[in-house]
Amino acid sequence: MRVDVVTIFPAMVQQALSAGIVGRAIERKTLNVVVHDLRDFTTDKHRVVDDVPYGGGPGRVLTPEPLFRALDAIEALDEGRPMVLLTSPQGTRLTQPVVERLGRQPRLVLLCGRYEGVDERVLSRVDEEVSIGDYVLSGGELPALVIIDAVARMVPGVVGDEQSVAEDSFGRGLLDFPHYTRPAEVTSQATGHVLKVPDVLVSGNHAEIRRWRKREALARTLARRPELLDHAELDAEEQTLLRALLAGRTGGTT
């Protein structure tokens, strides 16, 4: 997959892309991310990318021409027409199904919005506006990084363990089960209580462990995000476990 990012803070985006799973995928060329400085597409001496809004009001708006020039240049850089996204609080809310849909695109362009907004005429070149949640950030750089991270995980070979992607929280519309690692017992400094790993996880009984994890994931989802259960894909065992949870017969530690 190729992703082109257009931003007025290229160093910020580039820096964040160098770490972790995404950084490794870029290094290994499983993922190709190219960051463009919007100011490189200006034609004036001061490399101005914004102006005051028509009609008055506070703040500044990103002007259309540098963004149009950036899109023209980026489209010519590789084969196939890319899907063009604009980060915006007005956009489609980013959810795992949206991430999966974007992950099937061979080419994405992410335009990072800024200031009070982007000239509306830019939308004539945008396929979809994407919001990462119902809150306002000062710019589209963090949303673009969130989109890239989530979408990159869908690209085969980016996450080493495909099983881990398949079992991800939200992969099937459920919250994740609790995780534990060594040591099997820790003493809380604050209370002096001994905190133990659930016995089932050290039992070596893999069928029981799998069942326990399913039950915990369901119990958590039921307690914290019950609306997710309306659309979750549950196998027969999970449906039975959920019925038992709903009937109050089986407790989970949520």
d(CA 65, CA 125): 12
- In degrees and rounded to multiples of 5, residue 218 shows phi and psi of -65, -45
The active-site residue out of 100, 168, 172, 213 is: 168
Residue type, 90: Q
In SS3 terms, 58-126 reads as CCCEECHHHHHHHHHHHHHCCCCCCEEEEEEEEEEECCHHHHHHHHCCCEEEEECCECCEECHHHHHHC
Residue 13 contacts ligand ADE per CB under 6 A: no
Residue 131 contacts ligand ADE per CB under 6 A: yes
Least distance between ligand ADE and beta carbon 5 (Å)? 13
The active-site residue out of 116, 128, 129, 167 is: 116
Is 40 noted as a catalytic residue in this protein? no
Residue 7 contacts ligand ADE per CB under 6 A: no
**Angle CA(201)–CA(205)–CA(211) in degrees, nearest 5?**
75
What is the distance in angstroms between the CA of the first residue and the CA of the last residue of the chain? 38
| One residue of 55, 56, 135, 179 binding ligand ADE per CB under 6 A | 135
Is 116 noted as a catalytic residue in this protein? yes
The stretch among 18-26, 42-50, 125-133, 194-202 that binds ligand ADE (CB under 6 A) is 125-133
The stretch among 44-52, 136-144, 172-180, 208-216 that binds ligand ADE (CB under 6 A) is 136-144
The active-site residue out of 107, 114, 153, 220 is: 153
Q: Are 17 and 149 in contact (CB under 8 A)?
A: no
The residue among 85 and 219 lying less far from ligand ADE, judged by its C-beta, is: 85
Binding pattern to ligand ADE, positions 141-160, x when CB under 6 A? Answer: --x-----------------
Question: Would you state the structure tokens that stand for residue 211, as one six-digit string?
Answer: 């069942």
| One residue of 137, 155, 228, 244 binding ligand ADE per CB under 6 A | 137
3-state secondary structure of 35: strand
Point out the residues that are catalytic.
Answer: 89, 116, 153, 168
